[in-house]
Amino acid sequence: MSKPYVLGVDIGGTNTVFGIVDARGQVVASDSIKTLKHSRFEDYIEDLHSEISRLLKANDAEDKIQGIGIGAPNANYYTGEIQSPPNLPWGTVPMAEMVSKAFPGVPVAITNDANAAALGEMTYGAARGMKDFIMITLGTGVGSGIVVNGQLVYGHDGFAGELGHVIMKRNNGRVCGCGRTGCLECYCSATGVARSAREFLEVRTEPSMLRNLDIENITSKDVYDAAVAGDKLAKDIFDYTGNIMGEAFADMIAFSSPQAIVLFGGLAKSGDLLLKPLQASLDANVMPVFRGKTKILLSELKESDAAVLGASALGWEAKYRAETPAANLAAGAPVV
């Protein structure tokens, strides 16, 4: 029998990355296309099919793909649609159905990018062997995937698990892109850290390396570099961020009592600058019955491969469900 592979596809606002992944979690080959090269969704699908087919042929994998998993913003696991994504021009589109038509006979499943990251971590990374954990992605926003008893939590409509939009500041909170105010994402994302830096520089007077920068263009990386260099104001920004994150995690633990909360993304690389205040805040706020039971872990997925690996884990799930009718029925979502 030929070696089986799955295909992982990650659709971002700028690039769509796709890769061939084997059963050991090795990315055999990968490539990408520009997501917004085509304004018409049908033209995008045609381009994606063409480039994936080229990659499969170049790696002798044309007849070896057992499943296709897709991670995308606002992707609905139940319907197979991408539903009105904020940074894509297509509106609601039947992504899984169109990819299935382009690759007939190969089962296709889709979920949002943070859920895909959680599946990747459970299949290949720090959450291997865990049945209860929460994945938190710290990027431009805060994404999350919740795993309970070995299953991702999707809710009745496919959109459950938006922990980046729990409200942390109910009075005078920052305006969030979701339309509400005070969301966790406004404070604990990379853009949130940059917003904190601007606020700190406006209300505090002490010297800081950050004052040498254009205040409107400060990034979380600038804050990190200044903190590493010993800048007190920059360190205080990380303390502020970690404190809010710890408070949020204490509430998350009360909800599902996870074995671990796994952090992924650029901000997670801040090390003890973020992790020490986060852990201190978590310890101070968690209910006594849960104290010391949940680990804070960093993702073990290689960043350059993480998106493809996460999506590919969904590809293996699609393969299993297509081959096991009982599992397909229990999952509650169609395999396209």
Say yes or no: 209 and 311 in one domain: no
Say yes or no: 284 and 178 in one domain: yes
- Decide if pLDDT at 1 tops 60: no
Query: Angle at the Cα of 219 (from 213 to 221), degrees rounded to 5?
Result: 105
What's residue 114's pLDDT?
Answer: 92
Say yes or no: 104 and 134 in one domain: no
Return the SS3 of 258: coil
Tokens encoding 282: 């978590």
Say yes or no: 48 and 102 in one domain: yes
Q: Rounded to an integer, what distance in angstroms lies between the CA atom of residue 216 and that of residue 195?
A: 9
Nearest to 300 by CA among 132, 188, 135: 135
Tokens encoding 209: 């390396």
In a domain, 336, yes or no: no
Q: Rounded to an integer, what distance in angstroms lies between the CA atom of residue 119 and that of residue 310?
A: 6
Taking residues 6-24, report their average pLDDT. Answer: 94
Q: What is the CATH number of the domain that holds 286?
A: 3.30.420.40
Number of domains, the chain: 2
Say yes or no: 288 and 147 in one domain: yes
259 Cβ neighbours under 8 A, 6+ residues apart? 130, 131, 132, 133, 293, 294, 295
Say yes or no: 47 and 111 in one domain: yes
pTM beyond 0.85: the answer is: yes
Say yes or no: 323 and 246 in one domain: no
In a domain, 123, yes or no: no
Entry field: residues in the chain:
336
Say yes or no: 242 and 275 in one domain: yes
- Decide if pLDDT at 13 tops 90: no
Return the SS3 of 140: coil
Q: What is the pLDDT of residues 294-334, one digit of tens each?
A: 999 999 998 888 889 999 999 998 888 888 765 554 455 55
Domain that holds residue 260: 130-298
Tokens encoding 9: 């596809």
What's residue 328's pLDDT?
Answer: 55
